[in-house]
Amino acid sequence: MGIIKVNNIKLFANHGCLSEEEKIGSEYRVDVEVKASLKKSAKTDNLADTVDYVHLNHIVKEEMAIRSELLEQVAQRILDRFFREIRMIRRATVSVSKINPPIGGNVEEVVIILTKKR
């Protein structure tokens, strides 16, 4: 098994339970870690034999653009698409962070982390 990470994907989205969050939006950060067999790609040097991190980033951007009240739902949608579209993935972890959440305090971020395995 090998690990591919895509870290610090920065996005702007409109997730949240408050109507203000839907209108104003917030900054988000997404971190992704996937486990897959990388033996073949290490030998062949062929993109078709590995998990393409461009594809991972594309899925994250598309799912983050769909509004949800809860970050849990966003993270789960991302995981579900990873497993549906990329058969090589055996395990994946997605971390969705809301930067400066409107929770009435000086909080840098809130983070939801979900993991799924095949």
Residue-wise pLDDT tens digits, 16-72: 888 887 788 899 999 999 999 999 999 999 999 999 999 999 999 999 999 999 999
Cα–Cα dist 35/1, whole Å: 6
Give phi and psi for 34, each to the nearest 5: -125, 145
State the pLDDT confidence band at 75, using cuts at 50, 70 and 90.
Answer: very high
**What one-letter code names the amino acid at 106?**
N
Give the pLDDT of residue 19.
82
Which residues make Cβ contacts (< 8 Å) with residue 41, sequence separation at least 6? 47, 49, 50
Cα–Cα dist 32/83, whole Å: 13
DSSP tag of 47: G
Helix (H, G, I), strand (E, B) or coil at 90: coil
Helix (H, G, I), strand (E, B) or coil at 82: helix
